[in-house]
Structure 1
């Protein structure tokens, strides 16, 4: 295989088979590596298309069972190589890294990412929606693979080994498999990224993750891989919970010893279709949600962190924009922020012919008199149409309680590439539930979303959308911020890249953002906002966003803030300004600052938050965060200041053993919440967790009866071991 075979052609590259054995020791010096040519790398950031400042020899080969990557990552100043975390999934832009991204289904929309740092820390993630959006990654996804690294006076070196059984792919009858491949190296201290293939940075940071720009590669005579993993867990611990007695005159303490067991099974029905089964599912090791301050009359959205729902999670994405979606997995097993026991369930994801397929069925237990046992079902189908960048799909959901309640929903969605970077999205959905008329022809239980957007960050661009949600539309396993409204809005922008060496900026954009919400019943305006915004990214990695706005809110009824302040119904117009500044995420100390202020309904609001990521050493990370929201209503002599404080400390003994502490304070919630976790992870799928959680009441005497100091406390030990067959 010659270097010329990596040239810019539309024909897929046939990757070489390794001729000889590989000892996974981090040093790619075996004879098998010497027969493979390195990938030709070009600079992506900060100067697109230039020669990288450091030499990178990255080679890719495979055997019947594994994809191998061997890399010699030379560095003229090896003492300045950065590695700031040693545990699984601790990688960040503060670290140097080597990344391999694979579009395993060759669908030009999704990728699997495998990252390794000089210290040997592994991070894996998925990329979705062709890397479009504010954060088109899912870092909670994990699979089985390994890597070893070596550092010396020449730089750092790495060997990665990814089992084909950890990948899902579509093969032909002859065993030929086509995937998309992107390789990139990140040098943190220089904020420099080099990449293969030679992708332009016209799409900004996320362009180096875009499946549609990946180089097509082929594997020949690749047998189907059918993974079979059985992962039992054992759980034991102790909990204390303070409960209010029946007369509601005092609290009593309920002590309980906890012991449990469960089982997860992963089985590959084919190389591109995987079944996950779970019995008595437990998520004791999942970290607590970040506390948030809600200054709106709408519900808050929290991301999914539980691993069972992560594989190909983007397939189940049926989004109407923002947090609004037909399926929201946190509806399963969580009620009002509290866990509901999951008795068991199944999950099937993959491809059947030209169709992407996703299927979920879960059963939860009855919990008290108010929460019935429920069955949750989701079916997702999607396929490419017209061209490789467009798809048409459908989704069906069901939620059925043993008390006779039911909720059904279906939807159709399509994303069509019209030309170049212009895309049209069209979505329609309906819901049906007990107690409603459930008329197929009625717009009252329907949801519609249309959007036309430009997918690049330079030149003139736009995102224009129309949405409508009926009064009876209620997705039982979904998330909807508002009800009974129609919306017009989004933005128009102009972006440009700076001339090389003539400006400190990589790129800048000017936006005009705006939206308006109408009430479907009487056509009145519910909300509206409009304002310009300036965004700029420096070559050193810093970034800034600034912009004023004017807003209008029409409240048909009053609502409460913090359970203390009432906002009266009526119409309000107010002016605001927001700004944010971030230092480079590649720095050992990274600072993110957000400030805003102005009018707020019939009063005023000032807000600010400061977050710091401080990598003190490869073994120790410190992440403090503070947020303040001050609302004041002088005419009513009413005001409140909400404080949120968070601090996360992580200590990495090595790549296998780590401890972390996460503590939060919120005076709006009158709570101090702490979480301590020790994790021993000698290999993927083999974990020992020791978890301690405590929830303290910080405003005990503001309630009758007086609340106890400790609301609840738990200590748990959880052990999982994966058997592979």
Structure 2
């Protein structure tokens, strides 16, 4: 460990000791509410009017306490709650007092949008202090529902069937909720106690109050719930839902003369089925056959100059719902043993060969079917299983003499994931495991792919001292198998780079047919409660670790140490509501022992009294080495870097609000720099209409951007250039809500990336501190541009020694989605979708305005018109 890290760790431990000695946080008493059955009474009508006789069976509970911003104080407006039940439903009523009903904010939004004033109930029917079900209703009647896992992770992809209505009266507003018991999970005990919590948002003051009082920065969410008693004789309800769908789709695009695959339009009619089957009340089986995700937003535009894969979030409903059950993020960032976007990925093969005239390449692999098994048992077992089969994909080819053929570009593939966790120690601890696999039916034409890919892992977490302190960790192992070609391809990929010329601990073995690696993490810290939060930890990824068949791994061969400490100011004052300030540090090494990176950062956030906010930070990076910049060449040194950022925004409660941000980075000797400008506008002229416009502009010049590798008299030449690259994106979203169940949404984003190269140079001493010693610049007598390529006469003997192509490029993209969504009965929907898309290579010699005119607006977009109808049978 470096002396800097040792000093930081000693200081951290000193602060920890002081804080531990002075820690004296108050433990809040848990509240209890006793409900009763209304089985023999007239059923409650859900209309927002709390006037049914059955409500008189229980008393109101009130005395909500402010959680934010003035923790522990009486709220500006009080709230009341009632809960009753029968053999099929749980009923909840809320009375939200507001002195001036005219000030109730009844903004509309799509499901899970949480607009305006709202109130919610959270239910821990498992009674495990880690898992819950959240039901939210806004004053305008918009529903929100979330599944809560790991004591505080909210998953809004969960969409149960439930019923609600609201009314505004002279005292404020009211809400009624009916939750079918089939949508909850609970045991078979005759008498049960559930955890409950209720939260109200009072929009005028941007204030949160809770029924069960909470300390600022609580040690968890579900573990702090109060108790619901009086539940007697409830019988678990097995869920059985079928949702068939039918889709009609028409694609139109620019016709390509002579190409039978591009005749101007394509049409198709398809159908499929989704099902949700309660195996027990605790465990649910989700099935999908021939799933369709045509209504899902397209990915945003992005370009990666470093050669690494870009991570995009999962958006498909089947894979998003209950995603937390299968999550196994073991080393920070996006690295995970299961990345569901591998299922249905773009085909990895291509139709290649001589005399090809036309190719129809599929964009995605067909998912023939998938099944997902998940839930949590009463004795503390969280289980999840997922299996999916994707079909063979073929590219249709016509050669120059008119012969047609089909080339296999993706084999039949099985994907499987199994996940389990077990609570113990009075639910203060858990231990878990995961196993994943991808198995392909191989074909000689796709021998570059792994035939088998497996990974397994274990994880644990232990909390103590009322969950204030914790220790957690994980360990993983991967194994991939395939032909010698496939394993060699893995060894030389950007993730591994075993061919690095100065790496003694790895080397390419062209005869290997198997690769096994490990990774993991260990961390200890204070998670919450009070004014301090801190941790120290480390993680590793061995050089041989490979997860990208069914998981996500950016870079292997890394060992990292980190430490973080943060102080919170939770009590509001005359000039701010809440604030925090933190310090972060990390260092990294590779498995050869090279000390590659050190970084220090300070950052903070403040929510001003007028509800504006500001976030700022600065970082110093005194040491930056990279094993990947030269794509298999020697380790590379970047110049020392400093950066800072500043973002601020106005009060988001206003009809119009905005954010502005700036990121500034510079390296010594002007090796590279980065500028990012962000401007976001949000406008809600009507309760039913909201608009947002997000603009981002980036500049990232670099004197030593990798271009290619060549050879000079048998010596490798790693050729770099000064790049001047800029990117611009604008994202427009429009939401029009006719009512909570009928919405129109528009999403549109143009994206432009332009990169120009000058001042080419080659690597001389890749780890020299001085940039002038690190590279050598070509002079005008050594390099010349000739017909789309650069010719280099390095020794100036009049003979070209090597050449490389012109690296200048521009990329343009436009994506838009116009979606009408109508939930005509709970759980059953109709989607009408119009999508547009443009992808292309622009002219890098043009400025942004010309690129927009010629390469973006001048192209005919691809249009997709889609009508999708689903019907949800609840059996």
Q: Name the counterpart of 1:59.
A: 82
Q: How does 1:462-477 map to 2 (within 5 A)?
A: 462-475=534-547, 476-477=549-550
Does the 8 Å contact 2:35/2:84 carry over to 1? yes
CA distance in 2 between partners of 1:44 and 1:225 (Å): 35
CA distance in 2 between partners of 1:709 and 1:397 (Å): 43
Q: Which of 507, 511, 519 pairs up with 1:447?
A: 519
Does the 8 Å contact 2:540/2:558 carry over to 1? yes
Shift of residue 360, structure 1, vs aligned partner:
0.6
CA distance in 1 between partners of 2:136 and 2:306 (Å): 38
Q: Name the counterpart of 1:548.
A: 618
Does the 8 Å contact 2:119/2:200 carry over to 1? yes
Q: Which of 639, 642, 657 pairs up with 1:572?
A: 639
Q: Name the counterpart of 1:357.
A: 383
Shift of residue 474, structure 1, vs aligned partner:
1.3
Matched, 1:273 2:283: yes
Matched, 1:459 2:541: no
Change (3 A) 1:138 1:638: same
Q: Which of 60, 67, 91 pairs up with 1:44?
A: 67
Shift of residue 8, structure 1, vs aligned partner:
7.2
Matched, 1:85 2:156: no
CA distance in 2 between partners of 1:124 and 1:633 (Å): 46
CA distance in 2 between partners of 1:363 and 1:647 (Å): 36
CA distance in 1 between partners of 2:479 and 2:322 (Å): 27
Q: Name the counterpart of 2:369.
A: 344
Change (3 A) 1:201 1:171: farther
TM-score, normalised to structure 1's length? 0.89
Shift of residue 255, structure 1, vs aligned partner:
2.6
Matched, 1:229 2:249: no
Q: Name the counterpart of 1:74.
A: 97
CA distance in 1 between partners of 2:442 and 2:256 (Å): 26
Q: How does 1:380-399 map to 2 (within 5 A)?
A: 380-399=419-438
Change (3 A) 1:365 1:178: farther
Matched, 1:591 2:651: no
CA distance in 1 between partners of 2:302 and 2:528 (Å): 32
CA distance in 1 between partners of 2:726 and 2:630 (Å): 18
Alignment RMSD? 3.0
CA distance in 1 between partners of 2:586 and 2:134 (Å): 35
Q: Deviations over 1:562-612 (max 9, x none)?
A: xxxxx9943332110112223344333332333110215812111121223
Q: Name the counterpart of 1:564.
A: none
CA distance in 1 between partners of 2:610 and 2:162 (Å): 33
Q: How does 1:130-279 map to 2 (within 5 A)?
A: 130-131=151-152, 136-172=153-189, 174=190, 176-203=191-218, 210-218=221-229, 219-240=231-252, 252-253=262-263, 255-279=265-289
Which is worse superposed, 149-158 or 341-350? 149-158
What secondary structure, in the 3-state scheme, does the structure 1 residue paired with 2:565 have? strand
- Any gaps of 5 or more consecutive residues in structure 2? 1-26, 349-362, 395-407, 444-450, 491-513, 705-720, 754-810, 846-854
Shift of residue 137, structure 1, vs aligned partner:
2.6
Matched, 1:373 2:405: no
Shift of residue 527, structure 1, vs aligned partner:
3.4
Shift of residue 687, structure 1, vs aligned partner:
0.6
Matched, 1:419 2:488: no
Q: Name the counterpart of 2:584.
A: 513
Change (3 A) 1:545 1:380: same
Q: Deviations over 1:279-312 (max 9, x none)?
A: 1111112122233465765433222222212443
Matched, 1:604 2:673: yes
CA distance in 2 between partners of 1:281 and 1:495 (Å): 46
Q: Which of 683, 690, 701 pairs up with 1:621?
A: 690
Shift of residue 630, structure 1, vs aligned partner:
1.0
Does the 8 Å contact 1:648/1:662 carry over to 2? yes
Q: Which of 337, 345, 348 pairs up with 1:334?
A: 345
Q: How does 1:19-38 map to 2 (within 5 A)?
A: 19-38=41-60
TM-score, normalised to structure 2's length? 0.74
Shift of residue 534, structure 1, vs aligned partner:
2.2
Q: Deviations over 1:229-282 (max 9, x none)?
A: 111000011113679999xx9994463111100011111111111111111111
Change (3 A) 1:339 1:612: farther
What secondary structure, in the 3-state scheme, does the structure 2 residue paired with 1:141 have? coil
Matched, 1:714 2:826: no
Q: Deviations over 1:489-538 (max 9, x none)?
A: 1412233333x6x4332333221111122111x22234332122222233
Does the 8 Å contact 1:182/1:214 carry over to 2? yes
The structure having more radius of gyration, on CA atoms, is 2
- Any gaps of 5 or more consecutive residues in structure 1? 1-6, 561-566
Matched, 1:680 2:822: yes
Aligned length: 692
Does the 8 Å contact 1:105/1:169 carry over to 2? yes
CA distance in 1 between partners of 2:635 and 2:593 (Å): 21
Shift of residue 379, structure 1, vs aligned partner:
0.7
Shift of residue 666, structure 1, vs aligned partner:
0.8
Shift of residue 103, structure 1, vs aligned partner:
2.1
Q: Deviations over 1:615-644 (max 9, x none)?
A: 221211101100111122479653122111
What secondary structure, in the 3-state scheme, does the structure 2 residue paired with 1:212 have? helix
Does the 8 Å contact 2:31/2:212 carry over to 1? no
Q: Name the counterpart of 1:660.
A: 745
Does the 8 Å contact 2:518/2:544 carry over to 1? yes
CA distance in 2 between partners of 1:443 and 1:386 (Å): 38
Q: Deviations over 1:49-84 (max 9, x none)?
A: 222221322211211111111112121121121122
Shift of residue 24, structure 1, vs aligned partner:
0.9
Change (3 A) 1:697 1:445: closer
Q: Name the counterpart of 1:670.
A: 812
Change (3 A) 1:129 1:592: farther
Which is worse superposed, 340-349 or 595-604? 595-604
CA distance in 2 between partners of 1:235 and 1:631 (Å): 44
Q: Deviations over 1:388-444 (max 9, x none)?
A: 121100111111111171111111110111434111111011111114699xxx996
Shift of residue 372, structure 1, vs aligned partner:
1.6
Change (3 A) 1:296 1:507: farther
CA distance in 1 between partners of 2:128 and 2:322 (Å): 13
CA distance in 2 between partners of 1:408 and 1:242 (Å): 43
Q: Name the counterpart of 1:489.
A: 562
Q: Name the counterpart of 1:124.
A: 145
Which is worse superposed, 624-633 or 82-91? 82-91
Does the 8 Å contact 2:157/2:322 carry over to 1? no
CA distance in 2 between partners of 1:612 and 1:20 (Å): 50
Which structure has more RCO (C-alpha within 8 Å, separation ≥ 6)? 1
Does the 8 Å contact 2:69/2:578 carry over to 1? no
Change (3 A) 1:116 1:597: same
Does the 8 Å contact 2:428/2:464 carry over to 1? no
CA distance in 2 between partners of 1:216 and 1:335 (Å): 49
CA distance in 1 between partners of 2:656 and 2:170 (Å): 26
